[in-house]
Structure formats: structure tokens, C-alpha cells
Amino acid sequence: MAAKIEKWRDQISLDYPPLDDEHKAFLEVINKAVKDYYHRNLDNMPALFDACYDYVRNHFSHEEDVMERINCPDIMAHIQAHQQFIKNISEFRQAYEAAETRGKKLDLAQEVVGFLSVWFIGHLLSRDKLIKPYLVRLRNLPPRMDY
Ligand SMILES: [Fe+2]
Ligand SMILES: [Fe+2]
């Protein structure tokens, strides 16, 4: 998959800053990783994997909680897509750590950043976007202080 810099655009906005801000921050992480790859810089690859796990821990759980609270349809399919991402990242990390040469690590870095840049926009357009029409329901729920 070809890694490329993606820009934030209205099409991927949910008009809901608590989730949009997390998406924007992760898009920056991905774009930085793409630039590192363009420079054949592998120094930040461990931090990239850590950032993916942070995104999983913080963002996926936040988003899944919001979906449950507003009773979004197709929650299970969305959660499965998140779980598949976790599996993909774990496999990439294992393969990256096991790679013995710089050449192999560069090949894997290309795969990882290509996967991330394609997955991110694809997931937002195919899954996260489906939440948008239901976010209006949040207005009818009591506020929560934990986000
Ligand atoms: Fe999602
Ligand atoms: Fe999301």
C-alpha cells in the first residue's frame, strides 16, 4: 500500500470535537510516520507502534462507549473492525521487531505506514462516519465528566 500524507477534511469530520480531536491527533501521528519513511528514518518506529496502542486504548474505547450510549446501529461490525486493526498492528510490530536487517525493517516500515494511511481514511469514511447522524442523541443524555 502506498503511504501518502492525508489532510484533515470536512468529509471525515463528525462535527463532534471530542472524537474529531482524537482523529486529528492520530492523523498527525500517521503523517509524521509517512514523512519519516520518506526520509528512510526508522528511529521513531517503536514510538509509532506505541502511539497506535495509545490510540486503541484511548480512542477506540471512547468511540465504542459513545456508540453504545447513543445506541448506534451496527456497533458489533464497528468493534470487529477495531479488533482487526489491533490484530494487524500486533502482527506488524512482531514482524518489525523480528526483522534482522535494516532492509527488512525498511520494507516493513513501508507496509506499516502504507497500511495506516490507507486504513485511517478508509475506516473514517466507512465506519466512523456512520456514527455522525446519531451523535445528536448525545444532547438528550446527561453530560459525563470523564471525557
Ligand atoms: Fe472507529
Ligand atoms: Fe474513530
Dihedral of CA atoms 59, 64, 68, 74 in degrees, nearest 10, equals: 140
Residue type present at position 39:
H
User: Which residues sit with Cβ closer than 5 angstroms to ligand 2, an ion?
Assistant: 63, 128
Instruction: Give distance in angstroms: CA of 19 to centre of ligand 2.
Output: 7
What proportion of the chain, given as a percentage, has pLDDT over 90?
Answer: 88
Looking at the predicted structure, is the pLDDT value of residue 145 above 90? no
Looking at the predicted structure, is the pLDDT value of residue 140 above 80? no
Higher pLDDT, 142 or 110: 110
Whole-model pTM? Answer: 0.92
Instruction: Give distance in angstroms: CA of 103 to centre of ligand 2.
Output: 33
Give all domains of the chain, ordered by start, each with its CATH number.
Answer: 14-140 (1.20.120.50)
Instruction: Give distance in angstroms: CA of 131 to centre of ligand 1.
Output: 9
Looking at the predicted structure, is the pLDDT value of residue 7 above 60? yes
Instruction: Give distance in angstroms: CA of 60 to centre of ligand 2.
Output: 6
Least confident of 16-20, 51-55, 118-122, 141-145: 141-145
What pLDDT sits at residue 144? 65
pLDDT in tens, 37-91: 999 999 999 999 999 999 999 999 999 999 999 999 999 999 999 999 999 999 9
Q: How far apart, in whole angstroms, are the C-alpha atoms of residue 17 and residue 21?
A: 5
Q: How far apart, in whole angstroms, are the C-alpha atoms of residue 55 and residue 37?
A: 20
Instruction: Give distance in angstroms: CA of 104 to centre of ligand 2.
Output: 30
